[in-house]
Amino acid sequence: METIIKNTITDKLIAGFTASKNTLFGDGILREQAMESFSKLGVPGRKSEEYKYVNMEQALKGDLAAASPKPISEGQLNSLKVIGNAIVLVIINGRFSAEHTKFNNNIKGLQVMDIAEASGNAVFQKHYAKYADINSDPFVALNTAMATGGVFMHVEKGTVIERPVHIIHISSSSESMIIHPRNLIVLEENAQATVIESFVTVDASAKVFSNALTELFIDASAILQHYKIQEENENGYLVNTTQALQKKQSVFSTNNFTLSGSLVRNNLNIVLDDEQIETHLNGLYLTKGNQSVDNHTLVDHRKPNCNSNELYKGIIEEKSTATFNGKIYVRKDAQKTNAFQSNKNILLSDDGTINTKPQLEIYADDVKCSHGTSTGKLDEDKIFYLRARGLSEASAKKLLMHAFASEVVEHIKIDELRDYVEAKITARFA
Amino acid sequence: MLSIKNLHASIDGKEILKGINLEIKAGEVHAIMGPNGSGKSTLSSVLAGREEYEVTEGSVTFNGKDLLELAPEDRAREGVFLAFQYPVEIPGVSNINFLKTAINEIRAYRGETPMEAKDFLAMVKEKQKLVELDGKLANRSVNEGFSGGEKKRNEIFQMAMLQPKLAILDETDSGLDIDALRIVAGGVNKLKTKENATVVITHYQRLLDYIVPDFVHILYNGKIVRSGGKELALELEEKGYDFIKAEIGA
C-alpha cells in the first residue's frame, strides 16, 4: 500500500516535470539527469532514515498545480520589509519578481539578477548546481529539475557590501501548488556580504509546498552573514535546503529562525573544504499546534585547523513536533578540528514531541569535538524565584522563554532584524 | 503584622514544622536561630509559598490576610520578601528588566500606575549604592556568574527596590566573608523603618553583631523552644546548641 501511494506521488511530480520542462531555463540535460535521480530516490516515506519524523507523503499528496505567477501589492510587500537600507529582492511562487525588485545593480562589485536569466553568465556556469548534489537528496534533485527562478548574486573579489541583501520568498495561492525557488550566491575572495532569506505566505488560502534551495559559495577569506526567517502560515509547507561550500579562512555564520508554518524541513549542509575556516550555525524553532519542524544539519570538516560551532534551541508547545538531527563529519585529513554542537529544547506540553539526534563521525585523531542535548520543562526554581519577587506565573514563564530564546537571538548582528525577531517572540509568548 | 499560630508543615509526608507560634510587629527585628535540620529554611519556604511544602495545621496571618491562601506572587505584592539562601542564576533575564516587571506588577496589584522609566532608573542608581552593587552587575542577567557575596548583595538590592513590609533573610550570612557581611548588614539596617519588620534566619550569632535583633527565637526540631532578647543569641554562641538539646531533654 505504501509503495503504491509513494509511486503515485512521485509519478505525479515526474508528470509535472514532463509537462513543463520545455518552459524551464538553463541546461536541459542537467534537468533530465536530476529528474532521473528524483525518480530513483522518490518521495521519502516514513521508513526513510533521513525523513522519518516528517510526513512528506502527507505533505505532497493531492493535486498540486505547477506554480503560476500571482501579483501582490506594494503595500503587502512593504509590510514584509524588515531592514530599512536593505537591497530587497522578491521571489513570488518560485519566480523572481522584476516588478518588485527596485535594485538596479548600481553597487560596484555586486551583480544581482534572476537566476533564470543567468545561464550565459560565466560565474553562474562555474558554480550552479555544483554543490547541491542531485544524487544525495530527492528534494535537491526535484528542485534542480524543476527550478523556475530565484536570485543569482555575485560579489566580486574584495568587495564589501554594506547593505544587507534581503531575499523575500513569497508563497501565494488560492489553489494547492508546488514551487521550486532556487538561489545561487557567490562570494569571491575577500568579499563580504549579509544575506537574509525570509519565507512568508501572502494570500495563501490553499497549501503551498515550497521546495526552496540556496547554494552558497564562499571563497577564500570571504565573510558571509546569513539569516533565514521562516514564518509562513498554516498553508505553508517548506523544504529549505541550504548548501554551502567554504574555502580557506572564510567565515560563514548562518542563523535560522523558524517561527511558524505547517511543516518546515531545513537541510543545512556546510562543507569546510580548506584550512582555517570558521563556521557558526545557530537555530531557533518555536512550534505549536500541529506544526512539524525538522532541522537537519551537516558540518563536513574536510581539512585541518577549522572551527565550527552550532547551537540550536527550540520551544515546543501543544501537539507540535520538532526534530533536530545534527551531523558532524571530521574526515581523516581534518586534524586540529574544533567542532562543537548543542541542542536544547523546552517541551511545554505533554502532547508535544521532540526528536533529537546528534551524530558525530570522527576519522581524525587530534580533534576537539563535543555535543550536548537537553530537553526539559521550564525550571521550577527559577519560576518560583521570579514569583517571589511579585511576577505572575505567566510573566515569569514568559520571561524565562524569552531568556531561553535570547541565546540564539543575540547572534543577530543587524539591530533591525534582531528587534523584529524579538518582537515576534514577545508576541508569541504574550 | 505577622501572626503564626500552631504552624505544622511537611514535605513528602515528613513533618518538619511541628507547631510554630510567632508574633511579629512593625518596626521589630526578629532572629530565628537553630541548628541544621531544625526547620529554619522550611519556615521561610512556607512563608514565601513554595509549593512542595504542605501546611497540615495552623495559620499564618499577614496584616489581616490569610497568607497561606495567597499565591507566591501575591504574598510578594502584599509586601513579603524572601532573601534566598541560594539565589538562582537566571541567564538571559536582566536584573533590571525583571525588577521593572516586578515593580510594575506589584503596583498594578495595588491599583497604582506603572513607574516612569526615569524614576525607576533613578531608584536603581540610589539603591545599588546602598549595597555597593556595581552598576554593571545590576544590568547583567540575574545572578549569572555572580560570586556568593554578589548574589547576597543582589538580594538586598532587590529588597531595597521592592521595599517590602516584611523581609525574611534566609541564612543571608552563609558563605559571606566579613566585608560582604558588613555591606549586606549595613544595607538591611539602612532599609529598616518603623513600618517594616525583619526576620533574620541564621545558624550563627555572627550576623547578629551587625543586625541587632529585638527578639531571638531558638528553633529546634520544628518548634520554637526558647525566645528572648538579643542576649539569648550570645548565650547560644557561648554554650552551643547542645545546651538547648540538654535543656529540653532531647
Strands A95-96 and A87-92: antiparallel
Is A384 in Cβ contact with B73 (below 8 Å)?
no
Which residues in chain A come in under a pLDDT of 50?
1-2
The minimum CA-CA distance between B104 and chain A, rounded to whole Å, is 9
Q: Which residues of A touch B87 (CB under 8 A)?
A: 385
- Per-residue HEC secondary structure of A180-195 comes to CEEEEEEECCCCEEEE
Question: Which chain B residues in 127-166 lie under 8 Å from chain A, judged by CB atoms?
Answer: 141-142, 158, 162
Of the candidates B48, B50, B105, which has its C-beta nearest A392's C-beta?
B105
Q: What is the structure's pLDDT at A1?
A: 46
Total-model pTM:
0.88
Residue type, A158: G
Closest Cα of chain B to A382: distance in Å? 6
Q: What is the pLDDT of residue A67?
A: 81
What sign does the dihedral A58-A63-A67-A70 (CA atoms) show? negative
pLDDT averages per 10-residue partition of chain B, 250 residues: 96 94 95 90 94 94 96 96 94 91 95 94 90 80 90 92 94 85 89 93 87 92 92 85 74
pLDDT (0 to 100) of residue B213: 92
Residue of B nearest to A394 (CA): B73
Torsion of CA A60, A64, A70, A75, to 10 degrees: -30
DSSP state letters, A274-299: SSS-EEEEEEEEEE-TT-EEEEEEEE
Q: What is the rounded CA–CA span in Å between residue B31 and residue A204?
A: 67
Contact B73 A407 (CB under 8 A): no
Distance CA B210, CA B207 (A): 6
Per-domain boundaries in chain A: 2-274, 378-430
Does B73 contact chain A (CB < 8 Å)? yes
Closest Cα in chain B, distance from residue A411 (Å)? 13
In the DSSP assignment, the letter for residue B115 is P
Q: Which domains does chain B have, with CATH numbers?
A: 28-48+71-247 (3.40.50.300)
User: Does this complex have an ipTM over 0.90?
Assistant: yes
pLDDT, one tens digit per residue, over A160-210 is 999 999 999 999 999 999 999 999 999 999 999 999 999 999 998 999 999
Residue numbers of B between 112 and 131 with CB closer than 8 Å to A = none
